[in-house]
Structure 1
Amino acid sequence: MSWTIVPASRFGEYASRWRKLHMRCGAPALLAVDFIEPLLAQFGTGAELLAWHERDGVTTAMALVAPAGRGSWSTFQPPQAPIGPWLQQPGEDVEQLALGLMRGLPGFPLVFGLTQLDPMLLPRPADTPSLRTLDYISTARVTIAGGFDEYWNARGKNLRANLKKQRARLARDGVATRLEICRDPAAMAQAVEDFARLECGGWKAARGTAVQARDAQGRFYRAMLERFCDRDAASVYRYHFDEQLVAMDLCVEDRDSIVVLKTSYDERVPNGLSPTLLMREEACRRLFGEGRFERLEFYGRVMEWHLRWTEEARTMYHVNCYRWPGMRRLHTLLEARARSRQAAHNAP
């Protein structure tokens, strides 16, 4: 029972090991080699490590980890990754795995963090003297079961009436809507160009977070989508008003679910029209009609608009594992003091 640790730059050598464990875990597309390898290529700094745990010659856990400050390591977590890159077989003890890995990491770390874990994949463990879990975000999903009409009639009256009104307005104005779905690897470069053009024309450009076709984000999404499309496991949704591209979704897929990774829309669309919501309605109609997937996953923080589409939400979480129990008590105390000082500072 041991951990092996190598530079993450060697990920390609061990991709087949990751792929096999990913399949045994039933993990989502966001932890597939085709997602993780481009992520590491574009956002890795060279300090990341790849680690795997074996028992009796069988790989039972794998992780990509990175330094996270003085005396601390965590799973590799760039903003483009909705889930932390940690895989473990069902039934393994996450605390014992994390403690074992922490003791093998450079620099004698006192804390090791597992970030952005999905309770659907790894049930949230109970706190112990050496382990503490923290809420991350609530995220939403739509269960795809039954017919679309049944699902749609269960949505709020305001949503249904609003979209019906928008469609009537577009029809009066002679504007035709069109949903296109692309799965061609050769078309992904243009898809990312189109997506970047939408984002760069909106509020994300002002914040400096918009995808640009030739920056690290653009290169990541292109390479990742091309790899998924090569095995028919990605889709790009484009929505048009006549010939005007007004909204897009970038999606990846696995056996059970389709994940909306990124959404953007044209902010020049006239007030009173919601191209993203119109696109989502037509996309959901298709998903229910095709019956290929059991779930539509969003993996972002639950927003008000998510709750128009579903009542289903779950809380993702972080895990902090401490070398000694006293470190957990000290960390908790320091956090409580910091919150108290912040509250006092914010008080009128």
Structure 2
Amino acid sequence: MRPWQFAPISAFAELAPVWDELNRAMGGLPILESHFLRPALEQFADGRERIFWHGPAGAPDCMCILRPKTGLSWESFQPSQMPLGPFLLQPGANFPGLVAGLLRRLPGLPLGLGLSQQDPSAIPRPQAGGALRTLDYIQTASLPIRGTFEAYWDARGKNLRQNMRKQRKQLAAERIQTRLELISDPGRVGWAVEAYARLEAAGWKLAEGTAVAGDTAQGRFYRAMLERFCSVGRGRIYCYWFDDRLAAMDLCVAGGGGLVILKTSYDESLAKSLSPAFLMREESFRLLFEQGEFDRVEFYGRAMDWHLRWTDQLRTLYHANAYRHSGVALARDWLGRRRARRQGAAALAP
């Protein structure tokens, strides 16, 4: 095997074309593109990150961005705004062998390496064994775009279809005109992110501390990232209006044949009988079916009950943990079983 090499994360801009080429070989997920990663690194990296690649710099078969977690382990660069961990693997490459070699190349002789939030549709989940372990992360939903919208809509649950009809009748009775607007002009991204931030600031996400704000690292990330995608024709910001009132928004990026919904917000001060995000989704999904530009919609967050109203397609994202020696993996297995027994005993205690 060719040796692993690494460089400070400041070298990412130079290596970005090679990174994107390898990502395209995996299917071209937009959330693993340099257009997504460069703004994330600019806002959330702390300087300890390194970019690693295996093989010649011009044609590697594996690349990743890691940082030290403790003196004994390394982990993926994984801010909460990134749905997947930045790990790329040429289809057909030897996952266990490459990761074992990577672990031996990491500075500091660490005992473990954590590769978080991997998508089996891009990198098939490897068989656990030896010094490699995998564990479930979350189930996530996707919506295949095939056939007609009418056939898709008829297959949705009766409650969803009736609820949408009821809400549209209510809006018509109140003489409220709805309008779906699609923003893809990079010059309007700044306004859109500020508008999105105002929606979140007025809702429950502000109380939880997860709301987007324009003057924060998170707000700067979304603006820079969406400007990059819009500048190459692959940014999508959906705005849903009730007359002149902004009722809901979706922030999306496209690539590899799919559309990824990154963030959704809505005006929580509207009547509780209205679901502006659902109304927006019905109209935006109708357009996606009619236009035929994409073959799927990806949600990537944890699958919730409301996702299952729109699709029944689920898959499980996973973490992969590699250890320097199989003995370390076995010790971790034993500690995990012991912890589970203690928790079970505590749950049964009177």
TM-score by length of 2: 0.97
Alignment correspondent of 2:153? 152
Alignment of 1:15 with 2:16, yes or no, is yes
Residue 5 (structure 2) aligns with: 4
Task: State the SS of the aligned residue for 2:133.
Answer: strand
Alignment partner, residue 61 of structure 2: 60
Residue-by-residue CA offset, 1:264-284 (whole Å, 9 max, x unaligned): 111101111100100000000
Query: For residue 97 of structure 1, what is the aligned residue in structure 2?
Result: 98
Give 5+ residue unaligned stretches, structure 2.
none
Q: Is it true that 1:280 corresponds to 2:281 in the alignment?
A: yes
Q: How does 1:9-158 map to 2 (within 5 A)?
A: 9-54=10-55, 58-158=59-159
1:260-319 alpha-carbon deviations (Å, 9 max, x no partner): 000011110111110010000000000000000000110000000000000100001011
Q: What's 1:331 paired with? A: 332
Identity %: 50
The answer to whether the 8 Å contact 2:251/2:262 transfers is yes
Q: Aligned pair in 2 of structure 1 residues 56, 220: CA closer, same or farther (>3 Å)?
A: closer
Deviations 1:142-183, CA, capped at 9 Å, x for gaps? 100010000000000000001100000110011111110000
User: Which letter does structure 2 place at the counterpart of 1:192?
Assistant: V
Give the equivalent residue in structure 2 for 1:216. Answer: 217
| Helix, strand or coil at the partner of 2:181 | strand
1:202-281 alignment to 2 at 5 Å? 202-281=203-282
Return the offset for 1:29.
Answer: 0.3
Change (3 A) 1:57 1:175: closer
Asked if 1 retains the 8 angstrom alpha-carbon contact of 2:18 and 2:59, the reply is no
CA RMSD in angstroms, aligned pairs only:
1.3
2:37 aligned counterpart, secondary structure: helix
Is residue 293 of structure 1 aligned with residue 256 of structure 2? no
Give secondary structure in 2 for the equivalent of 1:218.
helix
Using a 3 Å threshold, how does the CA distance of structure 1 residues 196 and 56 change in structure 2: closer, same or farther? Answer: closer
The residue identity in structure 1 corresponding to 2:281 is: R
Distance (whole Å) between structure 2 residues aligned to residue 9 and residue 19 of structure 1 = 17
**CA pair 189-56 structure 1, distance change in 2 beyond 3 A:** closer
Alpha-carbon separation, structure 1, partners of 2:245 and 2:214 = 20
Answer yes or no: is the 8 Å Cα contact 2:28–2:256 preserved in 1: no
Q: What letter is aligned with 1:137?
A: I
Equivalent AA in structure 1 for residue 289 of structure 2: F
| Aligned: 1:174 with 2:175 | yes
Q: Please tell me whether the aligned partners of residues 18 and 58 of structure 2 are also in contact (alpha carbons under 8 angstroms).
A: no
Alignment deviations for residues 10-44 of structure 1 (CA, whole Å, 9 cap, x no partner):
21121122122222222300100100111111000
Name which of structure 1's ranges 291-300 and 64-73 shifts more when overlaid on structure 2: 64-73
Specify whether residues 309 and 275 from structure 1 end up closer, same or farther in structure 2 by C-alpha distance, changes over 3 A only: same
Residues 160 and 13 (structure 1 numbering): CA distance in 2 closer, same or farther, change over 3 Å? Answer: same
Q: CA 1:57 to 1:306, structure 2 compared with 1: closer, same or farther past 3 Å?
A: closer
**2:196 is paired with a residue of what secondary structure?**
helix
AA at the equivalent of 1:269: L
Count how many residue pairs are aligned between Structure 1 and Structure 2: 348
Q: Distance in 2 between matches of 1:45 and 1:186?
A: 29
Q: Secondary structure at the match of 1:21?
A: helix
**Which digits, 9 at most, give the CA deviation of each residue in 1:209-268, with x for residues without a partner?**
111011000000000000000100011000111111111000000141000000011110
Helix, strand or coil at the partner of 2:146? coil
Partner SS state of residue 193, structure 2: helix
Q: Which moved more, 1:96-105 or 1:296-305?
A: 96-105
| CA deviation after TM superposition for structure 1 residue 342, in Å | 3.0
Structure 1 residue 57: Cα displacement: 6.4
